[in-house]
Each structure stands twice: as structure tokens, then as C-alpha cells.
Structure 1
Amino acid sequence: KGRVRQVITIMRDITDLKKTEEVLKEMVERYSKVIELAQEGICIDDENEITVFVNDAFAKNLGYKKEELTGKSIFDLVDEKGRKILNQQIKDRKKGKSSRYEITVYRKDGEPRILLISATPLIVDGKYKGSISVNLDITERKRMEETIKMEREQLLSIFEGIDEPIYVADPKTYEILYVNKALKELFGSKDIIGKKCYKIFQNLDKPCDFCTNDKILGNNFGKTYAGEWQNLANKRWYRCIDKGIKWPDGREVRFEIAIDITERKKAEEKMKRLLEREMEFKLRTSHYFFNPICIAKGFLELAKEEDGIDKIEKALKAIDRIEKVVKNIITKGEIKE
């Protein structure tokens, strides 16, 4: 009683584990200075996705101490969506594939951070033994991109609500980047994005001679230029207002709004013709008035030396009155003395 009759011994071959630990230890020791000085977060996980090493940058970015992350699983730092991403990435690592991907991780205080991860598998003797990753925090960049995207959508929403045609083009390639609803309706279902502006809008094979890119870009960037042109394709007149603006990808691009002034031009042309006809009428009228008046005055001047001086003077005064009326019609368009 109380004697040990049998001993069961359980043995586990940890050769591979020790080898993996040695490889990881050697890697960290060899590149420790580079790893610790790196501004990017660096993380090494074993084949079970347990963190065996992180540098200061990685720990600091997530609000942890280095020892708090060692022995922790990366899965503890992500949400359900992140776990799905990691599962797929781990499958790729085990196949020997490297990749770059984005994932949201959560700091110790719960704040979400977006990381751009470049991960590479660690292969020892042909076997997957974990991975090493370089982690770049792109949270602020993503927020800025989202802000720019939102501002762009707001801007384009405003453009869409304007009844006049608007387009944006790359001034270097002349490719159309955007057209609003009003301009789309002019071209029906025709897809014009990516096409040359001079070909689509003017039916030309080269940039327009009257192109205003030099007036709104370069040293003139931000300035507005306006002018009136007749479209060679549809023969309508437009008052075009051009300006260089920044596109979301950082490019300086050409913005133009074209206000259709065809009816105004027609009205101006009609008014011009009416004024020409009026002037012609006045000239013809003056000719018919002044010519006989001049003749009459000439004879009356001769008659002044004879009898009837009083009547002749009255006739001359009457003619002077007619003359004044005609002058007023011609110069002022008024029928009065």
C-alpha cells in the first residue's frame, strides 16, 4: 500500500519547436538594432499565430508594453471582420505567399487603428513556422482620403444639380475625367469619360486653338478665365468659365462650365439688324428731307432781294423747323424740334 507500482512517461518531440525558437531568436538578435530603430511596427508570430516578438514602434502605436503583447494572439486585437481577413492571410502564409493588406486593429484603450501590413512567411526546413510583418499605421491617411472623397462627392453633387454643362479634364492628356448630368444629356448614352475633350466637344483631331489651359494653369492656377465661343460641333454659342482646380488624386485639372447663350446671341444679332435698318431708314429719310429743303432754301435766298421779303423769311423759318425735326430724328430718334 502506497507503493509506486507503475510510472507513465509522456514524451514530446520539441525539436522543431526549439529549432523555430532558435531561428526566431537568431533573427531578432541579428537585426535587433534595425528592428528597434524602425519607425514601422514589426511583429513576429509563430505557426500558431502567437506573438513572439514586437518592436517598440508596434507596441507604442497600440498603447501596450512589449511584454504585454508577447504571447498574445493577433486575433485578440481585431474584430470579427478582422478575423476573417486574418484567416485568409494565414492560409496564404502557409502556402508560402507574401502579401500586403489593410486591417483594423484596436489599441489597448479601444481606439481603432488602420494598419497596412506587409507579411512574409517564415519557412524552416520547408515547413511553415510563422510569419514576420511590417505594420504601417495609415489611419490618418485613410481619414484624409475619406475626407477628400466626401468633399469630392459633395462637390460633384453640386455640379450635378447645375443645369449648365460642366466638365473636368486632364490638361496634360486632354482626357475627360468628369461630366455632369446636363452635359451627359447633350450626348445621350454616349460614354465620353476618358475620351479627348477636343474630339468630343469640338470634333477636332488636335487641341483647340482657343484652348485656355495656359490662362488657368501654371502661374495662373486658381484664376478664372471667361470667354464666348461658338461650338463647332453643334453650332451653338457658349459663355465658358474656366478655372484650374485640384482633383482628389492631387492633379491640377481643368474645370469648365458652359452657359448656353445662343438665344442671347440671336437676340443681339436681331437687334444689330434692326439698328442697321433704323440707321438706313434715317439716312434715307434725311436724304428725302434735306435735299428739297436745300434746294428751296437756295431759291429763297435768291428771292430775298426781290419783293415779299416778309413771307420769304417766314418760309425760311418753317424750313428751319423741318430741318431741326429731321436732325432730332437722326441723332436722338425723337420727332420734335
Structure 2
Amino acid sequence: MCEKELLKSVFMHGIEDMVFVMRVEGSDTFVYDFLNNSAKEKTHFTDDVIGKDMRDVIQGSSLPFLLEKYAFVVANKHTVTFEDSFHSPKSKDYVNETRLNPLFNENGECTHVVAVTRDITELKEAEKARNESKRILEHSKQRYKSLFENNTDSIFSVDKQGILQEVNLAFEKLSGYTKEELIGRSTFDILHESLQRKSLRNFLRTLKGEPQSFEASISNKKGARFDLMVITTPIIIKGEIVGIYVVVKNISEQRHAQRILKESEERFRLIAESSHDLITLLDHDGNIIYASPSYRQVVGFSPEQYIGHSLLYNVHSEDHKNIMDGFITSINESSLISLEYRAKHSSKGWNWFEMNGRPIFDEEGGFLHMVVVSRDVTHRKQYEDKLKLFAYHDPLTDLPNRRLFQTHLTDAMNDYHQNGHKFAILMLDLDNFKAINDHKGHDFGDDVIREFSHRIKKCLRGNDTVARLGGDEFIAIVHHIESKQDVIEIVERMREQLNHTWEVRGEEVELTTSVGITMPNTEDITPEALMKQVDDALYRAKGAGKNTYQVSK
């Protein structure tokens, strides 16, 4: 084998890189003259490409790029190295590094370009993986730096001897020492003697691979005192514990709040246990979660009997809606609730209570519970009822007075306008009553008035109203009257009842009465007009000789 053939055999079979020899024909035409076995295997080209222009063999976007590189080598007469990608029709994508070497004839003309292409796909993938690992590592470092240095909790690390290795800014602020003062110093040197034994015990357990968590109170370099939660975690590298990470949480505010809450709860307990009012705590559903001991004294039931029941437990059914509406409104609007209700007593029936409730919320606005204080106001309600009776009733006869009569008249007028129910007004006056008062005295006269009111009431129906206007003057509302004749029949019965002999204080008394009568006869009639009409009718009855009645015109 001659040297030329030997060289060709080496290029063909002995080189793993792809080798292409391109013949130069003009400035931008390159013809395949040779390609080795490696080039054939990876490109799946055959000897058929020999003698063909590159434009007839290579398709796609890579052709202009290659033509540009080959033309540059020919024009500048020096080697060029570049990277490109190559898609094999029957295999995967490759990343190649190609070196173009110009060959010259004796006249210095570039006649051929030898392309040696090396597959650097694995190298690029390895480089890509290396860069990705580097990026992940850098990202992890940044995360660690952020987690460690910028953490609001105090963090530091120590070696197996307890010597400080790293500290973050939060720990510097908490301890009162600078980083330079801390690094290289024993952790136990900055702890009070009272804490050293406890800390050492947890330190040794952590070195055995057992994370620890404990609370401690310390004073820092400046004398400030803190309540702390300390968490220790072993640092494990290649299966060996080399130190400890320590996270210190400042829980001073939480412990202070807990102490205040405990003191507040103790005060609440003392108040609740000594109070004569009912003190109740309700949850969000209105169920009782606490009932004060005073329940036993005030309502006669044990407080335990109320726990878990609704706030409506032992409350009068007529008051249920009012209480529930108030409870819901109070929570939704963060407002106080104040109302009166009736609650059952074990032996006294229904007692009246005045309730004042306040919803309690946490710092985020979440409902915690409602505090309700209820006071027995039964005696006050009874007194108010008496006052109401005095305000709206005549003390001599217990009949409604002028003020209450006006209310009944307004109701009758409304019923007349809205439903068409007719009614009549009777105004009555005892004849010659002044003479009785003058001769027999006011006490005797008062008894006459009482008897007069009693006889009038006997003549009226249960839904009718009779009132005393003052002196010997009375007035009545007779409901559901269809005609004047109906009213006259009632008045006749009344006169008959009044004409019977009276016996007052053992003496027989004969009395008569004059009556004025009126009925609303137009839609626009007013209470004032009706009163004027009945007063005029009474005046005419007395003027007609008394012991008679007159109907308004």
C-alpha cells in the first residue's frame, strides 16, 4: 500500500471525528470530494454525495450558515472553528464543533477545505448540567442566606464544643453583643449560671441526634430580660454530627399577654363568684359556656344546669325572638346589647331581668365569646307597673283617666277609619251631686262616685271602655254600634241600673244621671270634634231637666 492510500485509509477508518473534504469551485460553491466512515455513520450520507454541490445535499436553515463559514475560510485563507447543531435523520440531535482548514496549491489558491467535525453533545450536556448545578447551588446559598441572615428569629450555630460559629443579625440584637464579640466564644459564657445546667443538658441530647425544644428567661448584655423559646437541631454532614443549629424565638409578648390574661381571668372569677348578678359567657352559637355561681341564689337553679344550653334556656317564649335578634345584631355590628326579658325562677315563676351584653373579639376581629350580665329587676318592674297604673288610672275608682281614655279613643277612631267599625261615645254626669258633697261630706261623696262607676261598668260589655274625667263626670266608648237605637238601648239599661235605690254607708240615696251621646258620622271627623259634640249633647240633657239623655245632632 502506497503512502497516499495509507493516508486515505487512516482518514477513512482510523479517525472518530467526522472528516469532510470539500473542493472549492468559485467563491461560494463547494463540492464533496471525500467523507470518512464516521461522517457517513452519523450523517447517513453515502458515496452518492461525492461530486455533489453542498446546496444539493444539505437542506434547511443550516445551509446559509455553512456556506458563510466556508466562504470566509476561502476569502481569508485561515482556519475557522465554530459550533453548530446537527439533526440526524435516523438519530438524535447533535452538537458539533467544526474546524475548517483551507488547502492551497502551489499558486497559493485555496482548492479544498477540510472540515473536521467533533461530536461535543455529551460535553455540552455535561456543561449544561454543571451550570444547572451551579445555579441551584447559588440559589440554595441565597435561600440559606435569606433564611439565616434575614430571619426575624435569632439563629446561631455552634460546634460540638459549644463554640459559636455563625450568628445572624437578630441574635446580635437580642443578645446585645456584636458578631465580632460572639464568634469563637462559648455559648455557655453568655448564659447566666442558673441556665447553664439546663442548656448543657439539652445541648448534650442534641449532640446525640435528638432535637430539643425548651423555654428559658435570660437577661442580655444590656440587662434587658426576655422570655425565649429555644429549638436545637443537630448539624449532620456525611452522617456525622458536627455541630448544632439553634433557633431562638422571642416569646416575651406572648408570655406577657398570657400573664395578663391569667390575671384578668382570676379577677373575672373573683367578680363572678361574688356578684349577685347573673354573669354568663356565650359562644358564637349562643350556647352557654359559663354561668356564675349566683345563678343558684338568683333563679334557684344550679349554674351547671345551664352549661351547654342555649341562652334561651328557661327564658319566656315571648322573649325568644327579641333576645336572638339582639344577640345576632350585637355580634355582626360589634355593638352592646341591652334589653329586658323574663326568666324562670325555680319557685317564684317568671321574674324580670335586665340584660347587658358585650361581644369580645380577638386581635384579628374573630369572635371569642359574649359576656352577658343580667340583673333581677322584678321589683322595679312591679313599681313601674304601679306608676303606670297611677299615671293612666283614676285613684278613686281604678277606672282609666282622661289620658288613657284619649288613647282608647284614638284606637277606636283608627279602627273606624280602617275597618269601618262604628262606635259611640257616652258622657255621663251625676245629677245634683254637689248637694250630696256639701251635706254629707267628701268621704260620703267619694263612696257615691265609687258606686256610680261600679254600676256603669255592669251595664257595659267587656270590650267597652269607661273612664272618669274628673269630679262626677264620666265618659264611655261603646264599640260595634250599628245605629243610634243600639246606643239608646244601652243608655236605657244604664238609667234603669242607676235609678235603683242606692245604699251608701247604711243610708239610702236616690240619684239620677244625665247622658250625652254622639257617634262619628263622617270620614273626616276628629277626636276633638267628637268630644265637642258629646259635651254639647250632655249640656243639652242637663238643660232639659236632667235624668235624661240627648244625642248630638
Unpaired segments of 5 or more residues in structure 1?
1-26, 283-289, 298-315
Distance (whole Å) between structure 2 residues aligned to residue 188 and residue 263 of structure 1: 23
Query: Is the CA contact 2:211–2:233 (under 8 Å) kept in the aligned structure 1?
Result: yes
What is the aligned counterpart of 2:260 among 144, 147, 150? 147
Query: Is the CA contact 2:280–2:373 (under 8 Å) kept in the aligned structure 1?
Result: yes
Q: In the alignment, what sits opposite 1:137?
A: 250
Deviation string for 1:255-293 (max 9, x for gaps)?
Answer: 2122224455677789999989974799xxxxxxx99x7
The amino acid across from 1:76 in the alignment is: D
Question: Residues 29-44 of structure 1 correspond to what in structure 2 (within 5 A)?
Answer: 31-44=144-157
Distance (whole Å) between structure 2 residues aligned to residue 67 and residue 281 of structure 1: 97
Q: In the alignment, what sits opposite 2:435?
A: 318
Q: In the alignment, what sits opposite 1:242?
A: 356
Query: Is the CA contact 2:277–2:373 (under 8 Å) kept in the aligned structure 1?
Result: yes
- Once the two structures are TM-superposed, the CA of residue 126 in structure 1 deviates from its matched residue by 3.8
* 2:158 match: secondary structure: strand
Q: In the alignment, what sits opposite 1:21?
A: none
Q: In the alignment, what sits opposite 1:174?
A: 286
- Once the two structures are TM-superposed, the CA of residue 41 in structure 1 deviates from its matched residue by 1.4
Deviation string for 1:3-31 (max 9, x for gaps)?
Answer: xxxxxxxxxxxxxxxxxxxxxxxx98983
* 1:246 match: secondary structure: strand
Question: Which of 1 and 2 has higher RCO (CA within 8 Å, sep 6+)?
Answer: 1
| Cα pair distance change 1:251/1:322, threshold 3 Å | farther
Q: Give me the TM-score of the superposition, normalised by structure 1.
A: 0.62
* 2:258 match: secondary structure: helix
Which entry has the higher C-alpha Rg, 1 or 2? 2
User: Greater strand share, 1 or 2?
Assistant: 2
Distance (whole Å) between structure 2 residues aligned to residue 241 and residue 74 of structure 1: 59
- Once the two structures are TM-superposed, the CA of residue 56 in structure 1 deviates from its matched residue by 1.6
Mean Cα deviation higher: 261-270 or 52-61 = 261-270
- Once the two structures are TM-superposed, the CA of residue 213 in structure 1 deviates from its matched residue by 0.9
The amino acid across from 1:52 in the alignment is: Q
Question: Residues 71-110 of structure 1 correspond to what in structure 2 (within 5 A)?
Answer: 71-79=184-192, 82-110=195-223
Query: Is the CA contact 2:158–2:164 (under 8 Å) kept in the aligned structure 1?
Result: yes
Q: In the alignment, what sits opposite 2:374?
A: 258
* 2:162 match: secondary structure: coil
Query: Is the CA contact 2:236–2:242 (under 8 Å) kept in the aligned structure 1?
Result: yes
Unpaired segments of 5 or more residues in structure 2?
1-139, 401-427, 454-467, 473-553
Mean Cα deviation higher: 249-258 or 129-138 = 249-258
| Cα pair distance change 1:332/1:255, threshold 3 Å | farther
Distance (whole Å) between structure 2 residues aligned to residue 184 and residue 173 of structure 1: 24
* 2:210 match: secondary structure: coil
Distance (whole Å) between structure 2 residues aligned to residue 184 and residue 47 of structure 1: 64
Distance (whole Å) between structure 2 residues aligned to residue 281 and residue 129 of structure 1: 100
- Please report the RMSD computed on the Cα atoms of aligned residues, expressed in angstroms: 4.6
Query: Is the CA contact 1:116–1:135 (under 8 Å) kept in the aligned structure 2?
Result: yes
- Once the two structures are TM-superposed, the CA of residue 166 in structure 1 deviates from its matched residue by 0.7
Distance (whole Å) between structure 2 residues aligned to residue 106 and residue 42 of structure 1: 17
- Once the two structures are TM-superposed, the CA of residue 149 in structure 1 deviates from its matched residue by 3.5
- Once the two structures are TM-superposed, the CA of residue 153 in structure 1 deviates from its matched residue by 3.1
* 2:229 match: secondary structure: strand
Distance (whole Å) between structure 2 residues aligned to residue 148 and residue 98 of structure 1: 31
Q: In the alignment, what sits opposite 1:287?
A: none
* 2:203 match: secondary structure: helix
Query: Is the CA contact 2:345–2:351 (under 8 Å) kept in the aligned structure 1?
Result: no
* 2:356 match: secondary structure: strand
What is the aligned counterpart of 1:69 among 182, 191, 194? 182
| Cα pair distance change 1:268/1:147, threshold 3 Å | closer
* 1:217 match: secondary structure: helix
- Once the two structures are TM-superposed, the CA of residue 121 in structure 1 deviates from its matched residue by 1.9
- Once the two structures are TM-superposed, the CA of residue 53 in structure 1 deviates from its matched residue by 1.4
Q: In the alignment, what sits opposite 2:539?
A: none
| Cα pair distance change 1:92/1:179, threshold 3 Å | farther
Question: Residues 177-188 of structure 1 correspond to what in structure 2 (within 5 A)?
Answer: 177-183=289-295, 187-188=301-302
Q: In the alignment, what sits opposite 2:328?
A: 214
Mean Cα deviation higher: 40-49 or 177-186 = 177-186
| Cα pair distance change 1:57/1:264, threshold 3 Å | closer
The amino acid across from 1:164 in the alignment is: D
Fraction of identical pairs, as percent? 21
* 1:231 match: secondary structure: strand
Distance (whole Å) between structure 1 residues aligned to residue 265 and residue 162 of structure 2: 41
- Once the two structures are TM-superposed, the CA of residue 104 in structure 1 deviates from its matched residue by 1.5
The amino acid across from 2:145 in the alignment is: S
| Cα pair distance change 1:328/1:141, threshold 3 Å | same
| Cα pair distance change 1:259/1:33, threshold 3 Å | closer
